[in-house]
A = this chain, B = another copy of it.
Amino acid sequence: VRATKTAAPSTRRSSKQREAIAAYLETAAHHPTAEQVLRAVRKRIPALGLATVYRNLEALVRDGHASRTMHPEGARYDTRVDPHHHFTCSVCGIVENVDPGPQETKWIQAFQRSTGAAVHRVVADIRGVCADCRRR
């Protein structure tokens, strides 16, 4: 019986839980919350605990395999770790990835020049109505 400190799992060991969570995140396009990951992965591993989901998501983020973004409703996870943005439709609630554009790069470069700051990362939260919802 020794001191414990149940932090995020390291990358050393595999477990079917870890693999299932990572696999689900790969296929999930909707930037799921931890709750949604739990419900989805429980279809394959019914005994899965929420704490395990959080611990593994934390590890995935720490190791650069996923990213975590804050929404008003809570944290959302995503396997895209390269620079990109999010578009949220205020009608249907869908969250889509948006690639950076050349105009955006120029904008950031101008910002760096004028302020003297060094920019490491830009995440834009774009809100509006998606094409599908506009048609209705």
Which A positions have Cβ atoms within 8 angstroms of B?
68, 70-72, 87, 89-90, 98, 101, 103-104, 106-108, 110-111, 115-131, 134
Given contacts A121-B127, A123-B125, 12 further A-B contacts (CB under 8 A): A87-B111, A87-B115, A103-B110, A107-B107, A108-B126, A115-B131, A116-B134, A117-B130, A117-B131, A117-B134, A123-B127, A125-B125
Q: Which residues of B contact A122 (CB under 8 A)?
A: 124-127
Whether B123 contacts A111 by the Cβ 8 Å rule is no
Number of copies: 2
Q: Compute how far the CA of A119 lies from the CA of B134 in the bound complex, rounded to whole angstroms.
A: 11
Q: Compute how far the CA of A116 lies from the CA of B134 in the bound complex, rounded to whole angstroms.
A: 8
Q: Which residues of B contact A124 (CB under 8 A)?
A: 122-125
* Chain B residue with the shortest CB-CB distance to A130: B117
Instruction: Name 11 interchain pairs, CB-CB below 8 A, sorted by A.
Output: A98-B111, A101-B111, A117-B129, A117-B130, A118-B134, A119-B127, A120-B127, A120-B129, A122-B124, A123-B124, A123-B127
Q: Which residues of B contact A98 (CB under 8 A)?
A: 111
